[in-house]
Amino acid sequence: MIEMNIKEIEKLRNEMEKYRPLDADQLRVLNKDIRIEHIWSSNAIEGSKIDKYETEAIIDKGITIHGESIGDVLSTIDLNEAYDYMLDLASHKQPLTQTAIRDLNRLALAKTHPEWGGEYRTLEVHPAKTDFNPYSEPFDIRPEMDELIEWSKTAQKELHPVKYAADLHYKFVTIHPFRDGNGRTARLLMSLALTESGYPVVNIMPDKESRKKYMEVLLESQKENDPTKFEDLVGDYTKHTLEKRIKILQLNEKNKKEAEKDTNLNKQNHLKR
């Protein structure tokens, strides 16, 4: 299934390249919306009650939302800083390191749990509402993170970027190395892998049905010790994101052509005025 997804994804990406890019102002607005959606959705998956529009108000205008949890507000500010760092890492296209992963987690917890940021846990943790525990034992975390970094050096070169991004998320969150912020860090790592390969960020939606599917597919993949189903989920999100981007570019192309034709002004006469 993932191979079929990859073929469709490549076809969509090639189609996307046919259109003129958005101008700088349009791209700024689009990138801002993607950022807001990532921060809102990633925090909402973890239980934040702040909605997308409140997230924008906090990040864009520094407005504190009346009645909302201080912790949720601080988590929004933290994840915005971590998202900035993810984009900076992507722009340099360097091999993944444990330091970079620690720093992503450290920024994601900077104001909520600064004392925990970047620190590997020393106690066992267990996912809620299941008897199955996929997470690594504390004494296994460091060697398994070493293995993750070694795997990434080869996988990043050999795997398709979407498959690599899904596997990186899956492997990291299964180790679950940190005391808090593992899910947010995993989704940042997935976004990093996609962005540095020229793919759009994909955001897992936090509505009840989408969140449930995300959690169930991830847990099922962990039980089977096979990331294929999770790869398919990420592939579906990537296809949807590319399709949405293509529609935006198509509309942009149509609007530009209409604007060029729909005028009573003669270029030469206009310039003389």
Is residue 19 in some structural domain?
A: no
Range 245-268 average pLDDT: 89
**Is 186 part of any known ligand binding site?**
yes
Distance between terminal CA atoms of the chain?
Answer: 61
Domain that holds residue 185: 2-14+42-246
> Tokens for 163?
């498959």
176 is catalytic: yes
Q: Give per-residue pLDDT as tens, 108-130.
A: 999 999 999 999 999 999 988 88
Confidence at 268, pLDDT banded by 50, 70, 90: low
Is residue 239 in some structural domain?
A: yes
Mean pLDDT of all residues in the chain?
Answer: 93
Angle, CA of 238, 230 and 135, to the nearest 5°: 135
Q: Cα–Cα distance between 192 and 195 in angstroms, integer?
A: 5
What's this model's pTM, rounded to 2 decimal places? Answer: 0.92
Confidence at 184, pLDDT banded by 50, 70, 90: very high
The CATH number of the domain holding residue 59 is 1.10.3290.10
Q: Cα–Cα distance between 159 and 222 in angstroms, integer?
A: 20
Provide the number of structural domains found in the chain: 1
Q: Which residues pair with 209 in a beta bridge?
A: none
Query: Active site residue: 126, 176, 240, 270, which one?
Result: 176
Q: For residue 236, what pLDDT is reported?
A: 96
**Do residues 220 and 229 touch, judged by C-beta distance below 8 A?**
yes
Is residue 198 in some structural domain?
A: yes
Is residue 20 in some structural domain?
A: no
Confidence at 106, pLDDT banded by 50, 70, 90: very high
Is residue 32 in some structural domain?
A: no
Is residue 61 in some structural domain?
A: yes
Other CB atoms within 10 Å distance of the CB of residue 181: 26
pLDDT at 61 over 80: no
Q: What DSSP designation does 61 have?
A: I
**Is 184 part of any known ligand binding site?**
yes
pLDDT at 67 over 50: yes
Instruction: Identify the CA nearest to 177 among candidates 116, 132, 107, 112.
Output: 116
**Is 180 part of any known ligand binding site?**
yes
Range 46-68 average pLDDT: 83
Q: Give per-residue pLDDT as tens, 128-182.
A: 888 899 999 999 999 999 999 999 999 999 999 999 999 999 999 999 999 999 9
**Is 185 part of any known ligand binding site?**
yes
Is residue 170 in some structural domain?
A: yes
Range 182-197 average pLDDT: 98
Range 241-269 average pLDDT: 89
Q: For residue 266, what pLDDT is reported?
A: 74
Q: Cα–Cα distance between 42 and 215 in angstroms, integer?
A: 13
Q: For residue 272, what pLDDT is reported?
A: 46
Is residue 213 in some structural domain?
A: yes
Helix 70-92 vs helix 24-45: angle between axes, to the nearest 10 degrees? 130
